[in-house]
Chains A and B, each alone.
Chain A
Amino acid sequence: MNTLTGYLRQALTALRFLLAATLVLGVAYPLAVFGAGQLIAPYQANGSIIRDDGGAPAASALIAQASADENGVQDPRWFHARPSAVNWDPATSSASNLGPNDPKLLQAVEANRAAVAAEEGISESEVPADAVTASGSGLDPHISPEYALLQVSRVAAAHGMSPEEVRALVLRHTSSGLEALLGQPSVNVTLVNLDVAASSGQR
């Protein structure tokens, strides 16, 4: 009986501690970060939302924006993002989680490579790895500069722009300096596509 009440008393202490700690760590702390975040960096805290000329939210600068038809082919008018295991749907996020020797992955890679080579009119050996492999999040907005440059002439033609103009937009959104050294040089496709739309008067 005594041990039972002892255990109960201990459990009660634990519960009171947990509830009191929740007030501090689970309510006050996130709200404080929220308040401070909205104060010092509202753009980032709210998802790095880019607005169009009319002021309406058009995209998040950090999230891939792509859509594919039922065959998985991305719209040829725009720069393509990397393959995605979640169909670029920001309501979810995932990698393919297939092993490096998985036959299913091998198949997907080969299909992607053939598709990219056909679309860009190049040989399969010229297709960069990031163009045929699914990203870790499925929402990766970045591609390699090599893959971006491959897409320039296609996108330029679709929008009646000169390739130089489009290449300049790619360069504007290519990471450089320390950021590119720590990670690797990357082109933000979401931002490039928004700029292409604006430059060609579609926004």
Chain B
Amino acid sequence: MQKLLIQVGSVTYAMKAKSVLQRHGLHASVIKTANPKKNEGCGYSVSVENPQVNVAALLQRENIDILGTKWAT
């Protein structure tokens, strides 16, 4: 199953993103991330399983800045 990793600025935004995605029926979890952006150090991401909707748009509507996204298996 493919997972979309959404990199955000902090654990607070990761928790907020998880909450928003769960409200939309998506299975999301918070994971610690080495570098949200290159050379920035620790950060957090939200992992979403096989999203069928535009996750970025959902999060941006809730004022969550997305630092980057990538797919993982």
Chain A bound to chain B: no
